[in-house]
Amino acid sequence: MTVSEVKQRRRAGGRSARTAARARPLDEAIRPVRPGLPGGQYRPLKEADVLRINEAALRVLEEIGMGSATASGRMYLTEAGAIEGEDGRIRFPRALVEDMLAKAARNITLHARDPKFDLNLSGTNVHYGTAGAAVHIVDPETGDYRNPTAQDLYDAARLVQRLDNIHFFQRPVVLREYENPSALDLNTVYAACAGTTKHVGASFTEAANVAQSLELLHMIAGGEAAWRERPFVSNSNCFVVPPLTFARESCEVMEACIKGGMPILLLSAGQAGATAPAPIATAVVQAVAECLAGVVYVNAVKPGHPAIFGTWPFVSDLRTGAMSGGSGEQALLTAACAQMHQFYDLPGGAAAGIADSKLPDMQAGWEQGISNVMAGLSGLNLIYEAVGMHASLLGFCLESLVLGNDMLGQALRCVRGVDVKDEYVDIDVIRSVVLDGPGHYLGHDQTLQLMQSEYVYPDVANRSSPKEWEELGRPRLLTTAADRMRSILAEDGHTIDAATEAALRKVLPLANLVRPGKGRTQ
């Protein structure tokens, strides 16, 4: 064997070893991206503007207030110090808002069934996840939109369980096979929890349905005490109908969830130019005022109960009045809301990653990518609807979860920013390569040491040259994503053990879900 052949074998062996090393899961300590990276580098509002928005929101609550409170809501709020006017509206003195802000929970942890997926909502820690209430499932191959089922929700949860850059799972679809609201609510919680051990977000149509889902959650947790110690499901609660009107049934749900120990997402979802003012800044004012009213409400029911400040204003295309979740204005709204969360030092969540595009195409890519990066850089604690959502939240696509996981890896790398360490600005490496070495950094020890901890590599995106791409059979991105989706769903990802599953089915009317290799749960 010649010297050149020996060297070639060494190089090939080194490449093989490095390829194998890259294929192994990275130790958490050296992963280039991970849940809870601190953001906050991007701040669209000047400090003076934040103060002006806060002042305007306080005036809205003092002078205009909130309408349509329930009897129990009026009781909680007026006993806390709110004032019911002759017009029936509840107004909030500034001192009351400030008092309740002081009592509000901060630096909270949203628990997961598996503690390694717990979400620390302090400071500007960033987490990406799903959400929404899509009434259609999108088939990207045919372009068809069809009704979602419990199986679709279960499959989405199983995918999220395996996708590292999606940190929590809030239900993204409405289970349209159920006409009965009680069956709908129960099986939404069940299908989500059966598919993932990450934190789950769920909604309830009426307060009477909460007890049945709590029974389910107590059994999964191992008892009510275990559930209350680590509640792994939160209630996404649209407690307000913008502008400035309480949603009566949702408020009743919120009270029931607080009493049941469930964290609350206080969700204000006005639409700028329709149910919220057209100026971006004023849409933020209204959303902040509504969520401050929610903070007062929650802490009047139970001081210090964990709640997320969910300023969630959307955008209208003012030519038609249709929602435009993929717009640049939506990205700005979300980033501005993140600054207001940080001003109040409250855990906050808002929407990003929504595509107006009907399919996972180039339009969806730019719409999802821009808003997710801006939301992450703004330091938003919980970025909802980050992946999978099309047609301005009307459609949800399972393949888009797989594609979105790659996108969020790149977004998280932007959030992490540039690490400037002493050894990185030491010019000895440059000196050795330029003056004494080969004139390039390929194969340098520093390059090899940092290639996994400094750089993010996509799972399905293709970075090969045109020649290599041709040799690989010209793989298409959507085809690769669909293949990965099918490979994950081909495995049994059921997260509820057999004994608990059997016990649940004895007392609760649960959906029958298809489990690969197991048939249907029953």
Q: What is the pLDDT of residues 275-333, one digit of tens each?
A: 999 999 999 999 999 999 999 999 999 999 999 999 999 998 899 988 999 999 999 99
The pLDDT assigned to 1 comes to: 53
Contacts of 291 (CB under 8 A, 6+ apart): 266, 268, 309, 310, 311
Which pLDDT belongs to residue 7? 43
12 pLDDT above the threshold of 80: no
DSSP annotation of 323: E
Over range 49-61, report the average pLDDT: 98
Q: What is the mean pLDDT of residues 16-20?
A: 57
In 3D space, the residue among 278, 276, 294, 295 whose CA is nearest the CA of residue 286 turns out to be 276
**Residue in 90, 96, 91, 97 with CA at minimum distance from that of residue 68:** 90
Quote the pLDDT of residue 19. 56
Q: What is the pTM of this model?
A: 0.94
Q: What domains are there in the chain, each with its CATH number?
A: 100-416 (3.20.20.480)
Cα dihedral sign for 94, 96, 97, 103? Answer: positive
d(CA 425, CA 470): 40
Task: Give the pair of three-digit tokens for residue 220.
Answer: 């999964």
Q: Residue 517 pLDDT more than 90?
A: no
Q: For a pLDDT cut of 70, what percent of the chain falls above it?
A: 95
Rounded to the nearest integer, the mean pLDDT of the chain is 94
Share of the chain above pLDDT 90, in %: 90
Q: Which residues contact 147 (CB under 8 A, 6 or more apart)?
A: 135, 136, 137, 176, 177
Which residues lie closer than 8 Å to 58 by C-beta, 6 or more apart? 94, 97, 289, 292
- Of 335, 415, 312, 316, give the one whose Cα is nearest residue 50: 335
pLDDT in tens, 375-404: 999 999 999 999 999 999 999 999 999 999
Confidence of residue 22 (pLDDT cuts 50, 70, 90): low
The CA distance from 361 to 369, in Å, is 12
Question: Is residue 36 a contact partner of residue 120, using CB atoms and an 8 Å limit?
Answer: yes
Quick count: other Cβ atoms within 10 Å of Cβ 177? Answer: 15
What are the angstrom distances between the C-alpha of 249 and each of 128, 131, 246, 479?
28, 20, 9, 43
User: What stretch of H or E contains 374?
Assistant: helix 362-377
456 touches 33 (CB < 8 A): yes
For residue 140, cis peptide bond before it (omega within 30 degrees of 0)? no
Q: Which two tokens stand for residue 247?
A: 């949603």
| Collapsed DSSP state (helix, strand, coil) of residue 428 | helix
Angle 210-221/181-195 helices, nearest 10 degrees? Answer: 20
Provide the pLDDT for residue 30.
80
Q: Are 118 and 110 in contact (CB under 8 A)?
A: yes
Q: Which two three-digit tokens encode residue 455?
A: 């750089």
Return the structure tokens found at 503.
């016990």
pLDDT band at 15 (very low <50, low <70, confident <90, very high): low
- Please report the pLDDT score of residue 10 as a whole number: 43
CA-CA distances (angstroms) from residue 513 to 131, 191, 195?
A: 21, 8, 10
Q: What is the pLDDT of residues 337-375, one digit of tens each?
A: 999 999 999 999 999 999 999 999 999 999 999 999 999
Local confidence band at 23 (pLDDT 50, 70, 90 cut-offs):
low
Rounded Cα distance, 45 and 322, in Å: 26
∠ CA(411), CA(139), CA(132), 5° rounding? Answer: 55
Q: How far apart are the first and last CA of the chain?
A: 64
Q: How confident is the model at residue 61 (pLDDT cuts 50, 70, 90)?
A: very high
| pLDDT tens figures, 286-302 | 999 999 999 999 999 99
* Predicted pLDDT at 6: 40
- Cα(86)–Cα(100) distance, integer angstroms: 24
pLDDT band at 28 (very low <50, low <70, confident <90, very high): confident
Phi, psi of 26 (to 5 degrees): -80, 145
Q: Are 429 and 372 in contact (CB under 8 A)?
A: no
